[in-house]
Structure 1
Amino acid sequence: MMRRTTPALILTGLLTLLLALLVPSAAHADTATFVKTQDWGSGYTGQYTIKNTGTTTLNGWTVVFDLPSGTTPGAYWDALMTGSGNRYTFRNREYNGTLAPGASTTFGFTASGSGSPTGCTLNGASCGGGQNPGDTTPPSVPSNLRSTGATSGSISLAWNPSTDDSGTVKDYRVREGSTVVATVTGTTATITGLAASTSHTYTVTARDASGNESARSASVTVRTQAGDGGGGTPVAANGQLHVCGTKLCNKNGKQIQLRGMSTHGLQWYPQCVTGGSLDALATDWKADVVRLSMYIQEGGYETNPRAFTDLMHSLIEQVSARGMYVIVDWHMLDPGDPNHNLSRAKTFFAEIAQRHASRPNVLYEIANEPNHVSWSTIKSYAEQVIPVIRAQDPDGIVLVGTRAWSSLGVSDGATETEVVGNPVNASNIMYTFHFYAATHDGKYLNALSRAADRIPMFVTEFGTQNSAGEGTNDFTRSQQYLDLMANKKISWVNWNFSDDHRSGAVFTTGTCDAGGPWTGTGRLKEAGVWIRDRIRTADDF
């Protein structure tokens, strides 16, 4: 039987179709916001945050942007990447493509080069919000631009934050004249590589996620300090160091002792190693040496050799600009056999030594804490890595780790005699010793004392707590160690210059994320106050 259609039904259908054509579906004004979470000058870690600002579920996302010539992405995560020329496309993974209204997700990448993404689109529309391109209001102008410190080669700046109608300021640009000399996400910046006794005038602007940029701030003019190779700094006073007998000697042949701080793992606490914090170490703490601890495993060097090598280059330059010595710490720990990372170590130290051979202040620590291996195994490793360094830097001091977590074998029931009787076949080297006062008692102290009379020793790590870097401070035992090291001119570095939750970290939790304050004692834990006082005492150079 044929069904007859009534005129009313036809009219209803036409009206439904017409409304569908005239009334748009729920629009997505989604955003993709970019920030540099780490920036070491020659490279950075970037992160995009994709947010569903619409009223319906976002099913899948694609972010496309350009990078300028000279900047290329390396490792990436939480997205799938393809590239053509300078244009790169990132698509969601299977687990982060669906976003409910108001929800967000992130993906990230490392980049070699300093250029930021441009021309960003999200699902074909502007990353600033494809359905709402009307944001043309720039952030407010940054205020109170000021200098927070200057050395013979660097100037540190700070300013008050801007505000934006979108609620988010993406980044700040520091300019000298028309040249952008720094792009940062926070409200501090350190400009390095400057000549001594020169004046520099800076302004700063703020940008939002839509690319709107504020007017320039009021300018500030700062002069770098006078330079004679570092002014009155430890490096200026001592120059190229060398091993003389069992001691560390300066350019004049005088036996000296260096005292300073070690960073925590750079993969975890890069926010604690900034221009401001290094300025504080140099001028407020009056440190002679900084140990840059680069873990190999545990999310460190092996995950992205290029990014960590570039980061180390940058930090060496920043420490050097402040006239301090720098220990490049190959922080192998687990696996405990240094030969597990032999090939990586050769590659890394060859480049580091080649780049910085002309600097008089770089020391190479080639194996942090060997463990569960014999001294002969460690010695074999050292005799393969040291020639790689010597081929590039014949004068740099090499620091060699010892058995059982650099305890001279004491933690394995041995003594220093295994090193004394079978030393590494190389010159201008020192052997490392690590102690934690609440764990390592008199037998460790005595082993260090005996060893220092026979072989060159350098304490590249110690704490006033237990061997996990936590718990109650044993300042009495710690002072016994410091008295011994002062008497025998054994240089030392304390663990650690971070705001980790353990008692061994000098800063209270949250200090680094807040950007300080780095000077004084207001943000220091008990151990931080104690060790700062002992670093600040006058050097005998």
Structure 2
Amino acid sequence: MAPRWPVLPLLVPLVAAVLSVPTASADVVAAAVTEHQAESASISNGLVESNHAGYTGSGFVNYDNETGAYVEFTVTAATAGPATLSFRYANGTAAGRPVNVTVNGSAGVSVAFPPTGAWSTWSTAVATVSLAAGANRVRATATTSTGGPNLDRLAVDTGTSGVGRPADVNGQLRVCGVKLCNQYGKPIQLRGMSTHGIQWYAQCVKTASLDALANDWGADVLRISLYVQEGGYETNPRKFTDLVHGYIEEATRRGLYALVDWHQLDPGDPNANISLARTFFTEVAQRHRDKTNIIYDIANEPNNVSWAGIKSYAEQMIPVIRAQDPDGVVFVGTHGWGSLGISDGRSEQDIVANPINATNFMYTFHFYAASHQDEYFAALQRAAARLPIFVTEFGTQTYTGDGANDFTYSQKYLDFLAANKIGWTNWNFSDDFRSGAVFKEGTCAGSTFAGTGVLKPAGVWIRDRMRTPDDFPTS
């Protein structure tokens, strides 16, 4: 594998205010998902408080310790039918705090609300109910003398997917064996898109495009591609760190996972940027530590560096993140531009023989299907049986991100990834002139991103594969 993105002949200037942030404090998610803050609901025997970090909105509801205390939301549905309710909550005790969830006085369904470990650690509990057309009274009533959990918000999904928003359903991720698992300990596959370099294509990451990604495409994860060099982070750390903060918040509002990509490429040795990486990841992990949808990728594509050098870098950087966010999953790029060493004439055996000394992390693999075929595919097959792998970047073209699409070999890869619950993000969510950018040139200057009319062939293909509902097991 080789660098795919030389300095562009036509650099697109960074637009400082490209992201139009919704101003409403509730119901900020488009399409079939709405959010309702608990502090704005009707409360019986409970208080609105803000003394535990990590809540959204202006606070959360602390139930009184008694049976019958409740929080009641008014939820409007366009049509009658099933809905998925995702309650964001914290429970710092050692026992569950079950509630009975009723709709318009129905018999209701019991939701367990198990312990989260601390009052500042937030998780999600999910229930499926039937809503009537129009306004509905959704009430969560404590069924034990200890009352309910601290309740932050309710997200209501009336779509046809049968599941709630990805980050709401799956909650805090962790690595179990060689799989990425959700809060219920079940292996899952996340699928999504990578931005292009935000120093060039920030105008492609805005309210309308992110709404399309979440609601029209059905993505689970947004990879935020922060180049270190090439006009990126090192030129203005404050500006680019703030952009990343903003994109994390936008992904969170839409129930997506935010994959923060430290996109070092040249120099290829991540140790060359370790001081910058420490500064950046310390701030990002500290600010977002109470979120459950953050994934940290500390080295995009190490190249011209030994596996031992990458291992040394990772074992220095992982504790930097753990000091701020003990639960966050960390990704580490493999040698040979993320090829498990193949592009360097090596193999995954380097990693198997000398694994990184850490837990709750994964190794990353990149492929471009028109260039990286049998040898690379075989390496992925071998590695997936022994190492936790996430494909943080792939394309249907050549490794330059250009040229003809090889959809046949791309599908071979995706079938294997699906069968083995290996997550992926596709390169890239921009209107760059290359065939690997999903949007037609000029699209990002407008406000229309949904549907196929604005997409290149690669965009049509990848959107179609993302729209199939994910199976996120909860039991």
Give TM-score scaled by structure 1 length. 0.60
| Displacement after TM superposition at 1:37 (Å) | 3.6
Write the mapping of 1:130-145 to structure 2, written as runs, cut at 5 A.
none
* Amino acid corresponding to residue 353 of structure 1 in structure 2: A
Partner of 1:54: none
Q: Are residues 340 and 354 of structure 1, via their aligned partners in 2, closer, same or farther at CA, if it must alter by over 3 Å?
A: same
Aligned to 2:64: none
User: CA-to-partner distance for each residue in 1:428-459, whole Å, 9 max, x for gaps?
Assistant: 00000000000001110110111010010000
The equivalent of 2:228 in structure 1 is: 296
Alignment deviations for residues 13-62 of structure 1 (CA, whole Å, 9 cap, x no partner): xxxxxxxxxxxxxxxxxxxxxxx94227899xxxxxxxxxxxxxxxxxxx
3-state DSSP of counterpart to 1:269: helix
Query: For residues 361 and 239 of structure 1, what CA distance do their matches in structure 2 show?
Result: 7
Unaligned stretches of 5+ in structure 2? 1-13, 22-28, 37-55, 61-72, 76-134, 139-152, 158-163
- 2:305 aligns with 373
Superposed CA RMSD? 2.6
Contact 2:362 2:389 in 1 (8 A): yes
Q: Which residue of 1 aligns with 2:217?
A: 285
- Could you tell me how far apart the structure 1 residues matched to 2:288 and 2:18 are? 16
Of 456, 473, 478, which aligns to 2:410?
A: 478
* 1:386 matched to 2:312: no
Q: 1:339 and 1:308, CA in 2 relative to 1: closer, same or farther beyond 3 A?
A: same
Q: Which amino acid aligns with 1:478?
A: S
Q: Is the 8 A contact 1:357 1:392 kept in 2?
A: yes
Please give the alpha-carbon distance, in whole angstroms, between the structure 1 residues aligned to 2:31 and 2:189: 27
Deviation digits for residues 393-440 of structure 1, max 9, x if unmatched?
Answer: 000000000001000000011110101111111100000000000000
Please name the residue that 1:228 is paired with: 154
Q: 2:17 aligns with which of 25, 35, 39?
A: 39
Letter of the structure 2 residue corresponding to residue 228 of structure 1: L
8 Å contact kept, 1:291–1:328: yes
Residue 494 (structure 1) aligned with residue 472 (structure 2): no
Contact 1:153–1:195 at 8 Å: present in 2 too? no
Aligned to 1:469: 401
In structure 2, do the counterparts of structure 1 residues 465 and 193 end up closer, same or farther at CA, with 3 Å as the change threshold? farther
Select 1:446's aligned residue among 361, 367, 378: 378
Aligned length: 341
Matched, 1:328 2:284: no
In the alignment, does 2:457 pair up with 1:537?
no
DSSP-derived class of the 1:518 partner: coil
Partners of 1:467 and 1:275 in 2: CA distance? 30
The corresponding residue for 1:357 is 289
Residue 124 of structure 1 aligns with which residue? none
Following the alignment from structure 2 to structure 1, what is the Cα–Cα distance between the partners of residues 171 and 288? 14
Q: Alpha-carbon deviation of 1:151? A: 5.2
Task: Name which of 357, 363, 388 aligns with 1:456.
Answer: 388
C-alpha distance in structure 1 between counterparts of 2:467 and 2:363, whole Å: 25
Give the Cα separation in 1 of the matches to 2:392 and 2:58. Answer: 30
Aligned residue identity for 1:513: A
Alpha-carbon shift at residue 513 of structure 1 (Å): 1.2
Q: State the SS of the aligned residue for 2:400.
A: coil
CA distance in structure 2 between the aligned counterparts of 1:258 and 1:512, rounded to whole angstroms: 25
Task: Give the match for residue 160 of structure 1.
Answer: none
The answer to whether the 8 A contact 1:248-1:256 is kept is yes
User: Distance between the aligned counterparts of 1:375 and 1:343, measured in 2?
Assistant: 20
**Displacement after TM superposition at 1:288 (Å):** 0.5
Classify 1:150/1:295 alpha carbon distance in 2 versus 1 (closer, same or farther; 3 Å).
farther
Distance 1:243 1:421 in 2: 20
Please tell me the residue identity of whatever aligns with 2:17: D
Q: Which gives a bigger RCO, structure 1 or 2 (Cα 8 Å, sep 6+)?
A: 2
User: Who is 1:241 aligned against?
Assistant: 173
Provide, for residues 240-279 of structure 1, a one-character-per-residue CA deviation record: whole Å limited to 9, x for no partner: 1100000011111111100010000000000100011111
Deviation string 1:449-497 (CA, Å, 9 cap, x unpaired) is 1101001000000000000000000001100100110111110110000
Partner of 2:208: 276
* Partner SS for 2:200: coil
The higher radius of gyration belongs to 1
Aligned residues of 1:330 and 1:365 also touching (Cα < 8 A)? yes
In the alignment, which residue of structure 2 is the partner of 1:428? 360
CA distance in 1, matches of 2:156, 2:357: 34
SS in 1 for 2:449: coil
**Identity between Structure 1 and Structure 2 (%):** 63
CA distance in 1, matches of 2:299, 2:382: 22
Q: 2:246 maps to what in 1?
A: 314
| Pair 1:524–1:42, CA change in 2 (3 A) | closer
Show the counterpart of 1:342: 274
| Equivalent-residue separation in structure 2 for 1:37 and 1:453 (angstroms) | 44
Structure 1 residues 519-530: aligned runs within 5 Å: 519-530=450-461
Relative to structure 1, the CA distance from residue 352 to residue 530 in structure 2 (aligned partners, 3 Å threshold; closer, same or farther) is same
Q: Given the superposition, is the C-alpha separation of residues 424 and 327 from structure 1 closer, same or farther in structure 2, using an over 3 Å criterion? A: same
Shift of 1:152: 4.0
Which runs of structure 2 are paired with 1:179-198 in the superposition (5 Å)?
none
The gaps in structure 1 that reach 5 residues or longer are 1-35, 44-146, 155-191, 200-222
* Preserved CA contact (<8 Å) 1:152 1:195: no
Q: Distance in 2 between matches of 1:385 and 1:396?
A: 13
**Alignment CA distance shift 1:477-1:389 (3 Å):** same
Q: Partner letter of residue 449 of structure 1?
A: Q
Q: Return the alpha-carbon distance in structure 2 between the equivalents of residues 401 and 308 of structure 1.
A: 21
